[in-house]
Structure 1
């Protein structure tokens, strides 16, 4: 059996870090088991679904390093769902209901006042042919409910009916079908809710493992019943914990909170996003993992906490910094070139500055300092101007190598008596305009003697 997973967002907005967590869980699971990844767009809601959102989701996935083996759109598969509906109707487990929303709300309130769970009472099963005809004559169109198998012979005498599965993430799980309402699978206008198309697609696409957020745990009991009603063996299910904002709020595609697009535009590396999205809320320490292949090796869905995890964007900066500090020049050569960083000194420059970057684009400001001097020049205290004049008079002759900084500062120290911060800070300010940054021992050979003299206050 080839492990086959799917990521099935609705293309109604741009995906956020929580959606990416689900996509990455599935991708890493497929990588780990040498399986397949199906990208499926649940776009049966034709009013809100947009191709531009589907395209942006694919772009975001590719940026993260996820490349689907197969891409499907539910809006192109209605014939399969229609056939499944016909099968369920023929089996007597899909029945028409005519209640309005207001009528259903009233019935739930009545059941609560009687101490009963607010589940649908299957009143539509008692309708006669004449009553159904009357409703339809009045212009009412039915919605269709799936008859849950939570009774022995009389559907009005429900009994505890447990659906069990060994959850890939959470371990043993149980849902009692008697505690649930018969789910609506088809709306009054003939459109499909999520539940049935998802099951049909999982069957026809050979999905072996469904890994998704734990807000779907209850849905799983219902879907397993539908799989069996359609004569199919259910896949394995796994439900990971959800991510919230740092303040505990839920994430939404519609609000754009922590969207992958916004994180990318802010200069965050894809592996920083992947590392935090996957490792937060697990027993693994959150750290910057240099490749998805390595992340897949460490990935264990069962190590995920059952409680929601807070996603703090500030942690991305820490991970981003760590990743860049260990990124080779070959890995960023082309991206640096796009930023204007190129030429014979580009590699040495990258090796000198990468340890001081939060984002790759930060290299541009250091490149300008290297080529043009401080941006702008720092203000030099009066007591340091005379010292700097002496220091620049002692600048070693070329050729310069990696020892020039050490040799120069040794001469300056001996001539002026300055040491420590009093020695190094004025020199750093004159050379870079900043109080901190890359090692001047690495930068000075790149600036050159002429460029250094040009920075003399």
Structure 2
């Protein structure tokens, strides 16, 4: 059975980069009728916070990315310890004691010699006595996985055939000196024991994948199908990493972005398929094809979310937005005609308040000097009411016959006089609502 996972660290809020990974794994699982696991990577006790765990769940629920089960890596430390012991037993795990400064000097020396800046495995030559002396002096060392120096190859679901020379990669640190288990081994153990079949993540993990393939093999596990999606850039191709903190999902939600707008964009961004607003999750699942995504950096512009949000809102019925309409202050008996008027003229639900204030209080007339006599004459022709859907047409027809004005010269001055704006809802829809509300006040 197809099993995927999303493994965020609870050290901050989910941003659009995280979402891309979560969504791809979710869609793969749902399209195959498989399992989607939410795995909390909380092995770092200093930085992991429960408030972020809750926030991650809230953001995923807001989007409708429902998981089948939750796993927490902090509850599986014994499994990682067993894996580490097995690697020691087979001679693939060794303790190293270099300080960050010493490692930096080694890298610089190798670069100056034209060599790849990889760890030189000096720790493998330490005697037991030397190790004891270093522990006494510096404390426990880090534990590195000993790579076999051979080519590591796999067929990537997005990037195609990948081949990496393990000799060009440093033996990865899997356990820190303070005992903290790092992502590289924790993820391997979890993916293996949880039966994860497919892993999609960012292209910055390609080297991690190469080392993890060897770790999986050393532990006797089954490699999942790996795919690495492109990284997001800003709209001009600039690095987005420094801006991700301002693109948290909860910030987008606060700005009024609708879930289906965000999902519709992120499910197709970077693929050969056009970005189109989808009606529901089922449409996204049915149309998802990992092979249609490319390797080139993918431009993301947050402004693209707002036209999609506006289009989504236009498709909603009153029952689907009733809370937002009520929050804007609209009385229940006026909610239906108000939504019919406003739905085509909002970008986010926050815009409803402004339209209600216009209907309730009116607007300061906007009348150009050359139109003052015309507007005065037109207002004298406005019938007493009650107004209905035909009033605007009948009134402007009468004004045209009396004044001779037509087209924009007829309609625009009247719109501006009634609403204080040059653009807005169809006046045939707005005029009755203005009349009804003012009659109530």
User: What TM bracket, shorter-length normalisation?
Assistant: over 0.9
Instruction: Output the aligned Cα RMSD.
Output: 2.2
1:345 match: 334
Measured in 1, the distance between the counterparts of 2:176 and 2:231 equals 29
CA deviation string 1:130-170 (max 9, x = no partner): 222232333442211111122xxxxxxxxxx2222222222
Q: Deviations over 1:287-342 (max 9, x none)?
A: 22222221222222221121111211221222222222222323222332233234
Measure, in 1, the Cα distance between the counterparts of 2:315 and 2:247.
26
Residue of structure 2 equivalent to 1:156: none
Does 2:194 match 1:205?
yes
Q: Distance in 1 between matches of 2:296 and 2:439?
A: 57
User: Secondary structure at 2:267's aligned position in 1?
Assistant: helix
The residue correspondences of 1:382-421 to structure 2 (distance < 5 A) are 382-396=369-383, 398=385, 400-421=387-408
Could you tell me how far apart the structure 2 residues matched to 1:449 and 1:69 are?
50
How many angstroms apart in 2 are the aligned matches of 1:318 and 1:440? 23
> TM-score when scaled to structure 2?
0.93
How far is the alpha carbon of 1:400 from its aligned partner?
4.0
Q: 1:222 and 2:206 equivalent?
A: no
Counterparts of 1:259-338 in structure 2, within 5 Å, are 259-338=248-327
Q: What residue is the counterpart of 2:36 in the other structure?
A: 37
SS at match of 1:299: coil
Distance 1:335 1:27, change over 3 A: farther
Deviation digits for residues 98-119 of structure 1, max 9, x if unmatched?
2222222222233333333222
Q: Is the 8 A contact 1:406 1:441 kept in 2?
A: yes
Match of 1:241 in 2: 230
8 A contact 2:110–2:117 mirrored in 1: yes
Q: How much does 1:220 deviate? A: 0.6
Secondary structure at the aligned position of 2:144 is classed as strand
1:244-294 Cα shifts (integer Å, max 9, x gaps): 223444445996231112111111112222222232221111222222221
Cα distance, 1:8 vs. partner? 1.0
1:158 corresponding residue in structure 2: none
Once the two structures are overlaid, the 10-residue window that deviates more, 32-41 or 434-443, is: 32-41
Checking the alignment, whether the CA contact within 8 Å between 2:365 and 2:418 is kept in structure 1 is no
For 1:126 and 1:442, how far apart are their aligned partners in 2? Answer: 84
Distance 2:300 2:418 in 1: 39
Hey, what's the Cα distance between the residues in 1 that align with 2:130 and 2:404? 104
With over 3 angstroms needed to count, the CA separation of the structure-2 counterparts of 1:250 and 1:198, relative to structure 1, is farther
* Whole-angstrom distance in 1 between the partners of 2:300 and 2:225: 28
Counterparts in 2 of 1:27 and 1:335: CA distance versus 1, 3 Å: farther
Q: Distance in 1 between matches of 2:138 and 2:248?
A: 43
Whether 2:24 is the aligned partner of 1:25: answer yes
**Does the residue aligned with 1:103 lie in a helix, a strand or coil?**
helix
Q: Which residue of 2 aligns with 1:5?
A: 4
In the alignment, is the contact (CA less than 8 A) between 2:260 and 2:278 conserved in 1?
yes
- Distance in 2 of aligned mates of 1:238 and 1:211: 5
Partner SS state of residue 245, structure 2: coil
Shift in Å, 1:189: 1.2
2:180 paired residue among 191, 196, 207: 191
In 1, the alpha carbon distance for the partners of 2:301 and 2:437 equals: 46
Deviation of 1:41 (Å): 1.6
**C-alpha distance in 2 between matches for 1:449 and 1:70:** 52
CA distance in 2 between counterparts of 1:423 and 1:449 reads 24
Distance (whole Å) between structure 2 residues aligned to residue 417 and residue 450 of structure 1? 31
Counterpart selection for 1:437 from 424, 428, 434: 424
CA contact (8 A) 1:14 1:254 kept: no
User: In structure 1, how many angstroms separate the alpha carbons of the residues matched to 2:357 and 2:232?
Assistant: 40
Q: Residue 272 of structure 1 contacts residue 316 of structure 1 at CA under 8 Å; is this kept in 2?
A: yes
Aligned equivalents of 1:35, 1:132: Cα separation in 2 = 48
Question: Which residue is 2:14 aligned to?
Answer: 15
TM-score (structure 1 length as normaliser): 0.90
SS at match of 2:95: strand
The number of residue pairs the alignment matches comes to 441
The answer to whether residue 101 in structure 2 is matched with residue 114 in structure 1 is no
Secondary structure of the 2:215 match is helix
Shift of residue 368 of structure 1?
Answer: 1.9
Q: Distance in 1 between matches of 2:290 and 2:231?
A: 13
Q: 1:380 to 1:229 in 2, by over 3 A?
A: same
Conserved 8 A contact 1:16-1:251 = no
* Contact 1:16–1:252 (Cα < 8 Å) also in 2: no
